[in-house]
C-alpha cells in the first residue's frame, strides 16, 4: 500500500490543531452532546500520528497492511472525527450530522458505521485490549504494520487495561504502542485525588513495557518518539503524554465541570474568540517563516 | 464432553488455518498434544478472562476464528462486559466455550457452578447458544459452530456418558431433536439432563404414560416449530435444565408458548435450579438428588404435576 500523505510541518500541525479544536467546540455546542476537553487534550498526538506517522489510505481504509489506530478513550472522539473528515475518510458534511439520527458519527466512535474507525469504543478499558488481539494477529500473520492505542489516564483505573498490558508484554508485542493521554483529569476531577495512578511511567515499565514520558503538545517530541518505535525490540512501547485537558481554551483547561459541560452562547463565543486569536497568531508566524 | 471438544478442536485446527484456541490457563494437560501440533494457534492467555475475550474480538476482526475456552462462569459472567461490548456489539466471529457448566464442578462449590450463563448470554443480541447432550453431539456441534459465522456460545459439561438412543439425528444449529414420541406429556431438556429426561420417560412407561423427549441443543435461536408441534400434543410441557429456571431454557420455551398463535396452550412446568445457589458439596449425582434433578425425583414431580393437571 502506498498512501501519498503530505508530511506536515510543525507550524502546519499547530495551525491545524487550532482548527480541529474549533471544530470540536462547534460540533459539541451544536449537538449539545459530547466531551470537549477530552477531545482537546490529544489533538497534537492525533495530528502527528495521522499526518506524519500512520500508514493509512482514506480511499482504502480496510487495507490489510494499514496501521491500526484505536481511540480507547472513545469519549474524546470529536477531534478524531474532524481529523478523519479532513483526510477524506468520510464526507465533511457528516460532521454537520454529528450525534443526529441520520448521521454516522455518535458520541462514541463505531467501526460498523465510520470508515477509519477500527473498533467501537466508549466503554472504557475495552479498546486497547481489543488492540492487543489485533497486534497478536499481525504477529501471527507476519505483517509489519503497527497498532496504536490512545488510552486515558482515568481509563487506566480499569483493571482490563492492566490485564491487556500484561498480555502484550508476555507475548512480546513490539508492534503495539500505547499513548496515555495523561491530562490529569477524569470525570469527577483530579486523577491523583480520585484514584491515584501514582507514576504511570513506572507502572507501564513494571508491566514490561518500554516507556517514555513526553509533552503531549510538543510536536517535535511526539514525532521523535513515533519515529523511534519500537523503543526496544521484543517489547511493547508506552508513551506517557503529559497534556492539558481542554487545551486551547483558557477557561476550560483543567476545569472539572467542563468534562461533560456544553458551552452556552456566550461561552461558545469566548472559546471561539480565543481559538481565532491563536489561529491568527499562528497564521502570522507561518507567513513570516515563509518570507 | 471435555474430551469430545478436544477431539473436535484438534480436527478444526488441522483443517482450518484461521482457527485459534485461546485458553484461560485451563485444560493445558488435556490439550498438550493439540498444543504441540499447533504451538502458534493454541494460546494460553493466563488467568485474565476479560483480557482474553477482548483480544479474541481483535483477532476475530482481523479474520481469525478464535475459540475462547475456560471454566463457564469465568468465560461468561466474568467476561460479560467484553462479550457484550466486544463480541456482541462488533458481531465478532468469536466462539465462547464454557467447560464445566451447571453443577459440573460440583464439589468445588457455588463459585465454580454456572446457573446463570444461559440467561446472560441469551440477552446478547445475535448470540447463538448451543448446549449439547453428550460427547458425539459435542463433536458435531463444535464443528458446526466453527463454520457458522457470528458470536456463539458453546455450553459444555465435563464427563457425560453417551446418550442411550438408538438413532440420533445429525446436529444442526437451530434444530431440536425429538428423541421419543409420546402422546401424553413432553419433556424438553438440554445438556446432561437429557439423559435424566430419557430415564423419566422409561419410568413413566409402567404408568402407561407416553412421553415425548426433546433435546433442545440449540437454545438460541430456539426451535419454535418443534415446540409448537408438541403444544398440540401435550397438555403439560416440562422443561429440564441444569440452570436457574429464570432466564434459561424454561424461559425461552415459555416465551414461545406465550407468543404462539396456536389455540392449545399447554401448562408449562419449569424444572431446574429453583432460583438459589447450591452451597453443597459432593458428587454431581448427589447434587442432582439434593436439587431433585435426578430421574427418580423428577419422575415423582412429573407424576404429581400430571395428577394436579
CATH code of the domain in which B75 resides: 3.40.50.970
If 0-12 CB within 10 Å is exposed, 13-18 middle and 19+ buried, where does residue B132 land? Answer: buried
Judge whether B172 lies within some domain: no
Judge whether B254 lies within some domain: yes
pLDDT of residue B309: 74
Task: Report residue B179 as a C-alpha cell.
Answer: 428423541
B85 contact residues in A (CB cutoff 8 A): 120, 122-123, 126
Judge whether B168 lies within some domain: no
Asked if B57 has any chain A CB less than 8 Å from its own CB, the reply is: yes
How far is it, in rounded angstroms, from Cα B197 to Cα B133? 11
B66 contact residues in A (CB cutoff 8 A): 133
Asked whether the beta carbons of A46 and A276 are under 8 A apart, the reply is: no
Between positions 84 and 113 of B, the ones with CB within 8 A of A are 85-86, 89-91
Neighbours of A30 (CB within 10 A): 16
Neighbours of B223 (CB within 10 A): 22
Between positions 98 and 137 of A, the ones with CB within 8 A of B are 111-112, 118-120, 122-123, 126, 129-137
Judge whether A2 lies within some domain: no
Looking at the complex, report in whole angstroms how far the Cα of residue B51 sits from the nearest Cα belonging to chain A: 5
Give B187's contacts (C-beta < 8 A, 6+ positions apart): B197, B200, B201, B211, B212, B213, B214, B237, B238, B239, B240, B302
Sign for the pseudo-dihedral over CA of B101, B104, B108, B110:
positive
Looking at the complex, report in whole angstroms how far the Cα of residue A163 sits from the nearest Cα belonging to chain B: 6
Sign for the pseudo-dihedral over CA of A142, A143, A145, A149:
negative
Per the structure, the count of domains in chain A is 1
B contact test, residue of A66, A133, A140 with most B CBs within 10 A: A133
How far is it, in rounded angstroms, from Cα B66 to Cα A112? 20
Task: Find how far residue B12's CA is from the centre of its chain.
Answer: 20
Judge whether A1 lies within some domain: no
B6 and B146 fall within a common domain: yes
Nearest to B45 among A118, A134, A167 (CB): A167
The answer to whether the Cβ–Cβ distance between B54 and A164 falls below 8 Å is yes
Looking at the complex, report in whole angstroms how far the Cα of residue A151 sits from the nearest Cα belonging to chain B: 15
CATH code (residue A154): 3.40.50.970
pTM attached to this predicted model: 0.96
B51 contact residues in A (CB cutoff 8 A): 129, 132, 160, 163-164, 166-167
B112 and B60 fall within a common domain: yes
B219 and B88 fall within a common domain: no
Judge whether B42 lies within some domain: yes
Q: How far is the CA of B201 from the CAs of A165, B169, B309, in angstroms? A: 54, 19, 18
| Domain final residue, candidates B125, B155, B185 | B155
Segment A221-263, tens digit of pLDDT = 999 999 999 999 999 999 999 999 999 999 999 998 998 899 9
Three-class secondary structure of residue A118 per DSSP? coil
How far is it, in rounded angstroms, from Cα A73 to Cα A67? 18
pLDDT in tens, chain B (309 residues): 999 999 999 999 999 999 999 999 999 899 999 999 999 999 999 999 999 999 999 999 999 999 999 999 999 999 999 999 999 999 999 999 999 999 999 999 999 999 999 999 999 999 999 999 999 999 999 999 999 999 999 999 999 999 999 899 999 999 999 999 999 999 999 999 999 999 999 999 999 999 999 999 999 999 999 999 999 889 999 999 999 999 999 999 999 999 999 999 999 999 999 999 998 899 999 999 999 999 999 999 999 999 987
pLDDT of residue A3: 46
Q: A291 pLDDT exceeds 80?
A: no
Looking at the complex, report in whole angstroms how far the Cα of residue B50 sits from the nearest Cα belonging to chain A: 7
Q: What H or E segment, with its residue span, contains residue B19?
A: strand B19-23
Per the structure, the count of domains in chain B is 2
Q: How many helices (H) and strands (E) does chain A have?
A: 11, 7
DSSP-derived pairing of the beta strands A185-186 and A189-190: antiparallel
The answer to whether the Cβ–Cβ distance between A129 and B55 falls below 8 Å is yes
B198 and B145 fall within a common domain: no
How far is it, in rounded angstroms, from Cα B157 to Cα B213? 20
pLDDT of residue A1: 39
Over residues A28-35, mean pLDDT: 93
Task: Report residue B201 as a C-alpha cell.
Answer: 420417560
Task: Report residue B246 as a C-alpha cell.
Answer: 429464570
Nearest to B90 among A119, A136, A170 (CB): A119
Segment A116-144, tens digit of pLDDT = 999 999 999 999 999 999 999 999 999 99
Judge whether A40 lies within some domain: yes
CATH code (residue B220): 3.40.50.920
A277: left (phi over 0), alpha (psi -120 to 50) or beta: alpha
A236 contact residues in B (CB cutoff 8 A): none
pLDDT of residue B98: 98
CB under 8 A, 24+ apart: contacts of B171-175:
B171/B132, B171/B137, B171/B140, B171/B141, B171/B144, B171/B217, B172/B144, B173/B128, B173/B130, B173/B141, B173/B144, B173/B145, B173/B148, B173/B218, B174/B218, B174/B221, B174/B223, B175/B218, B175/B223, B175/B226
Asked if B64 has any chain A CB less than 8 Å from its own CB, the reply is: yes
| Percentage of the residues of chain A whose pLDDT score is greater than 70 | 97
Judge whether A94 lies within some domain: yes
Judge whether A4 lies within some domain: no
B145 and B69 fall within a common domain: yes
Task: Report residue B138 as a C-alpha cell.
Answer: 459435542
Judge whether A161 lies within some domain: yes
B95 and B189 fall within a common domain: no
Mean pLDDT of chain A: 95
List the domain range (segments joined by +) for residue B293: 177-308
Interface predicted TM-score (ipTM) of this complex, two decimals? 0.94
Judge whether A3 lies within some domain: no
User: What is the number of residues in chain B?
Assistant: 309
B205 and B123 fall within a common domain: no
List the domain range (segments joined by +) for residue A182: 10-290
Three-class secondary structure of residue A61 per DSSP? coil
Per-residue pLDDT band at A215 (split at 50, 70, 90): very high
B259 and B138 fall within a common domain: no
The answer to whether the Cβ–Cβ distance between A134 and B56 falls below 8 Å is no
Asked whether the beta carbons of B123 and B136 are under 8 A apart, the reply is: no
A contact test, residue of B51, B61, B88 with most A CBs within 10 A: B51
The torsion of the CA quartet B123, B124, B127, B132, rounded to 10 degrees, works out to: -40
Three-class secondary structure of residue A219 per DSSP? helix
Report the residue of chain B nearest A164, measured CA to CA: B51
Per-residue pLDDT band at A2 (split at 50, 70, 90): very low
Judge whether B170 lies within some domain: no
Looking at the complex, report in whole angstroms how far the Cα of residue B11 sits from the nearest Cα belonging to chain A: 20
DSSP-derived pairing of the beta strands A147-152 and A176-182: parallel
The answer to whether the Cβ–Cβ distance between B90 and A167 falls below 8 Å is no
Judge whether A25 lies within some domain: yes
The answer to whether the Cβ–Cβ distance between B59 and A111 falls below 8 Å is no
Judge whether B108 lies within some domain: yes
Nearest to B55 by CA among A151, A20, A289, A165: A165
Between positions 212 and 251 of A, the ones with CB within 8 A of B are none
Asked if A173 has any chain B CB less than 8 Å from its own CB, the reply is: no
The answer to whether the Cβ–Cβ distance between B63 and A129 falls below 8 Å is no
How far is it, in rounded angstroms, from Cα A284 to Cα A273? 16
Judge whether B164 lies within some domain: no
B181 and B259 fall within a common domain: yes
Looking at the complex, report in whole angstroms how far the Cα of residue B128 sits from the nearest Cα belonging to chain A: 20
B129 and B217 fall within a common domain: no
Per-residue pLDDT band at A287 (split at 50, 70, 90): confident
Give B224's contacts (C-beta < 8 A, 6+ positions apart): B256, B260
Per-residue pLDDT band at A4 (split at 50, 70, 90): very low
B80 contact residues in A (CB cutoff 8 A): none
B79 contact residues in A (CB cutoff 8 A): none
The answer to whether the Cβ–Cβ distance between A163 and B48 falls below 8 Å is yes
Judge whether B102 lies within some domain: yes
The answer to whether the Cβ–Cβ distance between A126 and B85 falls below 8 Å is yes
Amino acid at each position: 500500500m502506498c498512501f501519498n500523505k503530505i508530511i506536515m510541518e510543525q507550524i502546519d500541525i499547530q495551525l491545524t490543531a487550532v482548527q480541529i479544536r474549533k471544530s470540536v467546540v462547534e460540533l459539541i455546542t451544536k449537538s449539545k452532546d459530547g466531551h470537549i476537553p477530552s477531545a482537546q487534550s490529544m489533538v497534537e498526538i492525533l495530528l502527528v500520528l495521522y499526518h506524519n506517522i500512520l500508514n493509512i489510505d482514506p480511499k482504502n481504509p480496510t487495507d490489510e497492511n494499514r496501521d491500526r489506530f484505536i481511540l480507547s478513550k472513545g469519549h474524546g472522539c470529536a477531534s478524531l472525527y474532524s481529523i478523519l473528515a479532513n483526510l477524506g475518510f468520510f464526507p465533511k458534511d457528516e460532521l454537520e450530522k454529528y450525534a443526529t439520527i441520520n448521521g454516522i458519527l455518535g458520541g462514541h466512535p463505531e467501526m460498523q458505521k465510520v470508515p477509519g474507525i477500527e473498533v467501537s469504543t466508549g466503554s472504557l478499558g475495552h479498546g486497547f485490549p481489543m488492540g492487543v488481539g489485533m497486534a497478536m494477529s499481525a504477529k501471527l500473520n507476519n505483517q509489519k504494520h503497527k497498532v496504536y492505542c490512545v488510552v486515558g489516564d482515568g481509563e487506566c483505573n480499569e483493571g482490563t487495561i492492566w490485564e491487556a498490558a500484561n498480555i502484550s508484554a508476555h507475548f512480546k508485542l513490539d508492534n503495539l504502542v500505547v499513548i496515555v493521554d495523561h491530562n490529569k483529569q477524569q470525570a469527577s476531577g483530579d486523577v491523583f485525588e480520585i484514584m491515584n495512578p501514582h507514576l504511570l511511567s513506572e507502572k507501564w515499565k513494571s508491566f514490561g513495557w518500554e516507556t517514555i514520558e513526553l509533552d503531549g503538545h510538543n510536536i517535535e517530541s511526539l514525532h521523535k518518539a513515533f519515529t523511534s518505535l519500537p523503543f526496544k525490540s521484543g517489547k511493547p512501547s508506552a508513551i506517557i503524554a503529559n497534556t492539558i485537558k481542554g487545551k486551547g481554551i483558557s477557561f476550560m483547561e483543567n476545569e472539572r465541570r467542563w468534562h461533560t459541560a456544553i458551552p452556552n452562547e456566550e461561552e461558545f463565543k469566548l472559546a471561539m474568540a480565543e481559538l481565532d486569536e491563536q489561529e491568527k497568531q499562528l497564521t502570522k508566524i507561518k507567513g513570516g517563516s515563509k518570507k | 464432553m471435555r474430551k469430545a471438544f478436544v477431539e473436535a478442536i484438534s480436527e478444526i485446527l488441522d483443517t482450518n488455518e484461521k482457527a485459534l484456541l485461546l485458553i484461560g490457563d485451563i485444560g493445558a494437560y488435556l490439550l498438550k498434544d493439540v498444543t504441540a501440533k499447533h504451538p502458534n494457534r493454541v494460546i494460553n492467555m493466563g488467568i485474565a478472562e476479560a483480557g482474553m475475550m477482548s483480544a479474541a474480538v481483535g483477532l476475530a476482526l482481523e479474520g481469525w476464528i478464535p475459540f475462547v475456552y475456560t471454566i463457564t462462569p469465568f468465560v461468561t459472567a466474568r467476561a460479560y462486559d467484553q462479550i457484550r461490548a466486544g463480541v456482541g456489539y462488533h458481531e465478532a466471529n468469536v466462539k465462547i466455550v464454557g467447560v464445566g457448566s451447571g453443577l459440573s464442578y460440583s464439589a468445588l462449590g457455588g463459585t465454580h457452578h454456572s446457573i446463570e450463563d444461559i440467561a446472560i448470554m441469551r440477552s446478547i443480541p445475535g448470540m447463538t447458544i448451543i448446549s449439547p447432550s453428550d460427547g458425539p453431539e459435542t463433536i458435531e456441534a463444535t464443528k458446526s459452530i466453527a463454520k457458522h459465522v457470528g458470536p456463539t456460545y458453546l455450553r459444555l459439561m465435563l464427563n457425560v456418558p453417551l446418550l442411550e438412543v438408538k438413532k440420533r439425528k445429525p446436529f444442526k444449529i437451530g434444530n431440536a431433536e425429538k428423541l421419543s414420541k409420546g402422546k401424553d406429556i413432553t419433556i424438553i431438556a438440554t445438556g446432561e439432563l437429557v439423559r435424566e429426561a430419557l430415564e423419566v420417560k422409561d419410568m413413566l412407561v409402567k404408568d402407561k404414560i407416553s412421553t415425548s423427549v426433546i433435546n433442545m441443543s440449540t437454545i438460541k435461536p430456539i426451535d419454535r416449530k418443534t415446540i409448537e408441534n408438541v403444544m398440540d400434543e401435550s397438555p403439560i410441557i416440562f422443561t429440564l435444565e441444569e440452570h436457574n429456571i429464570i432466564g434459561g431454557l424454561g424461559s425461552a420455551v415459555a416465551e414461545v408458548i406465550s407468543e404462539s398463535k396456536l389455540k392449545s396452550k399447554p401448562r408449562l412446568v419449569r424444572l431446574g435450579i429453583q432460583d438459589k445457589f447450591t452451597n453443597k458439596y459432593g458428587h454431581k449425582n448427589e447434587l442432582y438428588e439434593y436439587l431433585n434433578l435426578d430421574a427418580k425425583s423428577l419422575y415423582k414431580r412429573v407424576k404429581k404435576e400430571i395428577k394436579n393437571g
